[in-house]
Structure 1
């Protein structure tokens, strides 16, 4: 997430937060772009239209943990290894 967000020049006004289940990362921010890191429960509270999965190597695990995203019509976006938006 750090490399991609910095390369793209993303800021908190575009990407409001990044969710991570590690309590050691929560409350910090992504270096360079200063996007805050929050607990995954924030996704459920906000019900965003799109959820970007940055760590593509654990995509299946994240989809399982956030399966309820589809219940409110949310879609998953993957940027790596290839851009994909799931319907």
Structure 2
């Protein structure tokens, strides 16, 4: 718990002034994600998402992301597979679909699990696939 408090303090979230620029940071995140998705699609590249967490779905809906920018998402939970993400209507499949479709980019929606997911899907490097993490700043990883 102390670690979280230290992170909040470092981010300036321990006082009201720390929240003044929050709305603009959220808008910058949205613009960065949309710019990346549009530019990537314009280059003819494929993008899929990993995970179906509420926070990731909130981000996709806030940004207006639909299947013109992301093909589908995968999730390990069999309870989510075969369904669609609320609002975005992206289909949710089992993770093995990634190996079959070989996307150019995987957008990691549970960004707090980034390292675990990158490790689990390290095989995407076989076809030069890359990982994208949208939060706190948009980052692309090999």
TM-score, normalised to structure 1, is 0.94
Structure 2 counterpart of 1:77? 132
Structure 1's consecutive aligned runs of 4 or more residues displaced over 4 angstroms after TM superposition are: none
Between the aligned partners of 1:68 and 1:81, the Cα distance in structure 2 is 25
1:59 aligns with 2:88: no
CA RMSD in angstroms comes to: 0.9
Between the aligned partners of 1:13 and 1:51, the Cα distance in structure 2 is 15
Q: Tell me the number of residue pairs that the alignment of Structure 1 and Structure 2 aligns.
A: 87
Provide the secondary structure at the position in 2 that maps to 1:33. coil
TM-score, normalised to structure 2, is 0.59
Unaligned 5+ segments in structure 2 are 1-55
Provide the secondary structure at the position in 2 that maps to 1:77. strand
Between the aligned partners of 2:63 and 2:110, the Cα distance in structure 1 is 16
Residues 7-46 of structure 1: pairs in structure 2 closer than 5 A: 7-46=62-101
Unaligned 5+ segments in structure 1 are none
Instruction: Identify, as 1 or 2, the structure richer in helix.
Output: 2
Deviations 1:17-53 (A, max 9, x none): 1110100000111101101111110111010110111
Larger Rg: 2
